[in-house]
Structure 1
Amino acid sequence: MIRFIRSIYFSERFFYALFAIAFFFLLSFWFGWLYPVNWVVSAILLILVFTELISLYRSNLLKAERILPEKFSNSDNNRVEVIIENKHVFKVFAKVIDEIPVQFQKRDFLKKLELPARDRVQFDYFLRPVQRGEYKFGGLNIYVCSILKLVKRRYIFDSEAMVKVYPSFAQMKKLDFLAMDQKISLHGIKRIRRIGHTMEFEQIKEYVRGDDARTINWKATAKQSSLMVNQFQDERSQPIYSVIDCGRVMKMPFEGLSLLDYAINSSLAFSNVALKKKDKVGLLSFSNKVDSLIKASSKLSQLNNIMEALYNVNTGFYDSDFSLLYSRLRKHIGHRSLLLLYTNFEHMSALNRQLPYLKALAKQHLLVVIFFENTELTRLNNIEPTNTSESAHQVIAEQFTHDKNLMVRELERHGIQALLTPPQKLSINTINKYLEIKARGLL
């Protein structure tokens, strides 16, 4: 009985009619003929209310379903589909209120629909998460009324739905598609000019203008009576590690995402491209301790292993221990590998403290230090100051920007590859750096 009562809601039209009847009862104090008329109108209103109640509660003639994907992609728009089926013999009007997970802090979701008799209606909406983890949906609330619009009946569906948010696999798939297509032309993705060639033989083909004359195969040329050249391909099965700093410097937010989330999304996208290139990929995350270490492998299951490991990576407020990173890499990674180190430095003093460990890593491996431009400082540098305070802020911003460029030059002076990138372009620039290294045969 209580459940039945809780599902009944009176609409605005019912209360407007109730207030009008009360007002006319007040007027009947001076105009006596209104008194019996008001009772007739009240009886009619009561009959209409009971008629609508009976029609709505005759049986459960409304079905609804919220269709969620198996998992959400972090920082991307994820589609949520809602299907509502009206089995009534008359048209109904519905208000849909979906209880979206608390992480979105969205409390104004409302969708108004007209549901034709014995018909199905579906609609969708999109959610953009900015944190990894479990997202729990509340009830899918649907308030239904007939054409009278005096009483509403509430239905609640799918009250225990949950979906996990993983690193951005949507971005990974997009960049995977571009990597498979050799005609990469998307804005921000550049083609890398090949300098020389690697020594992994692929095939013998007929010479065309532009081929390197040093690769002519004279024996094949003599047999075919036309110029034939050896074609080489990028060396494969090279070990590559994404090394992610999970210290407090990676907690800094940009456009709703932390630097750590940008690094995680980039690592997943890059690992997928490297696997398509037949290289071995691995992962290491660290802060004041080593959180996870996945040995480099080219197995098809490696991408799932990396995704599951990245799902649980979180940052705290600890200082990262680069000496521990060096000792752990030296112990567990014996072969020369490509290390993509995602970290961030805001001051030269911070870089100088870690430089001895970076130099030691660069002696054993090909190290690429990836850190971030502060896009807010870049925006501040591009505005025209209007007062002394803004001029002072701009001078400080220019100093910070200058320090970032000094860090790049300092790393390169010690033979360490460096990549300074805006957070939004991290994945594209990282893949470009990887393709450049492969093209130049540096590893």
Structure 2
Amino acid sequence: MIYPTARAVILAGLGAPVALVIGVVIPQFWYLGLVWIVMIAALIGLDALTAKRSGQLDSEIEKPATIGVGSPFTVTSRLRFLASDGTVDRRNAPNRIELALSVDDKLDGGGGRRTEGPMIDGQAEVDQIFTPNRRGKAQIGHLWARWTGPLGLAWVQRRDHFGAEIIVTPDIGFIQDKGIQLYLRDAAYGLIAQLDRGDGTEFDSMTEFQSGMDRRTIDWKQSARHTELLAKEYRTERNNHIVFALDCGRTMCEPVAGLPRVDRAISAALLTAYVALRAGDRTSLFAFSGRPQIASPTVTGTRNFSTLQRSAAEIDYAPEESNYTLALTTLATQLHRRSLVVIFTDFADPTSAELMLRASGRLLDRHLVLFVVLRDAELTALAHDKPEDSTDVSRAVTAHALLRERAIVIARLQRMGAHVLEAGHDEIGTRLVSSYIELKRRSLL
């Protein structure tokens, strides 16, 4: 495709006043006013003929196969002009080349989808930075490249279709290092087998009763048989079942600091799952919106952590309201032993909160339930900022009412026997790991 540059249009436009003057002063020679335009058109044609042909351009892109959501990455476009024998043609190559990439809405280019770069000896390498803002399959569709001839009067443009896919997964780049740090930091709380005797519910061995030990651990039958006081030692169970139930309905798809709430929840769930797997527990994922979406297999050992990662990448964003009754009832029927159920959700309105409270009753009868809620910093700011006009007062009153309803729901959950964790998006992962370790230390599982 060939078309004039802005420079060519401006030069052609400069001939209009001259043509007007000639037409007014010497109307019999009005056609002389067209000489300038004809000359510019000829120069545009000459520039297009001497420019590199679009068929000579060879292009390719380099991009990662997978990337974590919210992690910036670079797409490198390599372009070169080829001669008929397949070698790089350096003759009359342009000094600069402009290009643009068409990407879907999962990738944010920050306004930088169109860029330019220098061309040296008929070759160019241009980097563009994108940030994935949603999980799923992101696609790079077309690459447009254009360059000018020696006079800079004509653009030559070429379009190449790539259809390259990038798998956008939950951000797990920090999980392994952060998980190991948290695991080692809390080792004294019973996560390492050599240190957890005396805590937990799983029988370990018999030992001589010492002053200060819990008298309820005395085994009177064994003490009578051996004519000395013997006590039972327990240890923390290593095969507890931890289920991470993720609400991916409409409310959880709203962004928090640039990322949807459900993505924040997935990162926190995977971090805690990694720590739990290292501690010897079993973990699984369960996602729901209007209906259950995903129920991953139960895995053990950190070598199977990738299974959870793949399942988390398949969790989709749903524009519908969450059906707590169907989801939590389905989850309860899948659990055949006492488990820790970690539910990531948000309380959108009193009606949905009431439905969630009723649906949670069956789980609380048999399982240990921990609700995880992201603190709404924007709502808190609206409630506490100093109002300047009547509109600000209305916002503050509404925000206070929503926060009060939220506090009521949390209090009712706690009275029902559930544990509730409310934290900011930047600390939800570490707070959740600490809560898991505390529940394990107290032998509540």
Equivalent in the alignment of 2:145: 142
Q: 2:160 aligned to 152, 157, 161, which one?
A: 157
For the 8 Å contact 2:249–2:317, the answer to whether it is kept is no
Matched with 1:201 is: 194
Q: Secondary structure at the match of 1:408?
A: helix
Decide which of 283, 290, 293 is 2:285's aligned counterpart.
Answer: 283
How far residue 334 of structure 1 moved from its aligned partner, in angstroms, is 1.8
Aligned twin of 2:4: 10
User: Deviation at 1:422?
Assistant: 3.3
Q: Secondary structure at the match of 2:124?
A: strand
CA distance in 1, matches of 2:183, 2:322: 43
Q: Which runs of 5+ in 2 are unaligned?
A: 82-88, 198-210, 214-233
Tell me, in whole angstroms, the C-alpha distance in 1 between the residues paired with 2:72 and 2:57. 29
Of the three residues 93, 97, 104, the one matched with 2:100 is 97
> 1:244-266 CA deviation, whole Å, 9 max, x = no partner?
23445435444554433433343
Compute the displacement of 1:280 (Å): 1.7
One-letter identity of the residue aligned with 2:119 = L
Q: TM-score, normalised by structure 2?
A: 0.74
Aligned CA-pair RMSD: 4.0
Map 1:296-315 → 2, pairs under 5 A: 296-298=298-300, 300-308=303-311, 310-315=313-318
Q: Is 1:114 the equivalent of 2:118?
A: yes
Residue 42 of structure 2 aligns with which residue? 46
2 CA distance for matches of 1:356 and 1:438? Answer: 27
Q: Is this contact kept in 2: 1:271–1:281, CA < 8 A?
A: yes
User: Which residue of the partner structure matches residue 79 of structure 1?
Assistant: 74
Report the TM-score, using the length of structure 1 for normalisation.
0.74
- Whether 1:244 aligns to 2:237 is no
Deviation at 1:140, TM superposition (A): 0.7
SS in 2 for 1:237: coil
AA aligned to 1:279 is D
Distance 2:42 2:17 in 1: 17
Deviations 1:376-398, CA, capped at 9 Å, x for gaps: 22011231112445334323322
Q: 1:177 matched to which residue of 2?
A: 177
The aligned amino acid for 2:194 is F
Q: Does the Cα contact within 8 Å between 1:200 and 1:235 map onto a contact in 2? A: no
Q: 1:257 to 1:120 in 2, by over 3 A?
A: closer
Q: Report the 3-state secondary structure (helix = DSSP H, G, I; strand = E; otherwise coil) of the residue aligned with 2:12.
A: helix
Kindly tell me: are residues 38 and 270 of structure 1, through their superposed partners in 2, closer, same or farther at Cα, counting changes over 3 Å?
same
1:262-411 alignment, distance < 5 Å: 262-298=264-300, 300-308=303-311, 310-322=313-325, 324-346=326-348, 350-411=352-413
The alpha carbon displacement at 1:71 in A equals 2.9
Give 1:418 shift.
Answer: 0.7
Please report how far the alpha carbon of residue 177 of structure 1 lies from its aligned counterpart in structure 2 after TM superposition.
1.6
Aligned residues of 2:50 and 2:149 also touching (Cα < 8 A): no
Give the AA of the match of 2:247: D
Match of 2:223 in 1: none
- Find the aligned partners of 1:252 and 1:292 in 2 and give their Cα distance: 20
Mapped partners of 1:36, 1:198: distance in 2: 93
The 4+ residue runs of structure 1 with deviation greater than 6 A are 31-38, 105-108
Q: 5+ unaligned residues in a row in structure 1: which ranges?
A: 1-6, 185-190, 205-212, 216-231
Q: 1:243 to 1:39 in 2, by over 3 A?
A: closer
3-state secondary structure, aligned to 2:243: strand
Contact in 1 for aligned 2:288/2:294 (Cα 8 Å): yes
Report if aligned partners of 2:168, 2:313 keep a CA contact under 8 Å in 1.
no
Contact 2:252–2:260 (Cα < 8 Å) also in 1: yes
Instruction: Write the distance in 1 (CA, Å) between the matches of 2:393 and 2:340.
Output: 43
| Higher mean displacement: 433-442 or 26-35 | 26-35
Deviation at 1:348, TM superposition (A): 5.9
Q: Which residue of 2 aligns with 1:209?
A: none
Q: Say whether the 8 Å CA contact 1:201–1:233 is kept in structure 2.
A: no
**TM-fit CA distance, 1:353:** 4.4
- Give the Å deviation of 1:288: 4.8
1-side partners of 2:371 and 2:255: how far apart?
Answer: 20
What letter corresponds to residue 165 of structure 1 in structure 2?
V
User: Structure 1 residue 120: deviation in Å?
Assistant: 3.4
Please give the secondary structure, in 1, of the residue aligned with 2:296.
strand
**Bigger shift: residues 62-71 or 400-409:** 400-409
Identity %: 19
Query: Is the Cα contact below 8 Å between 1:275 and 1:281 reproduced in 2?
Result: yes
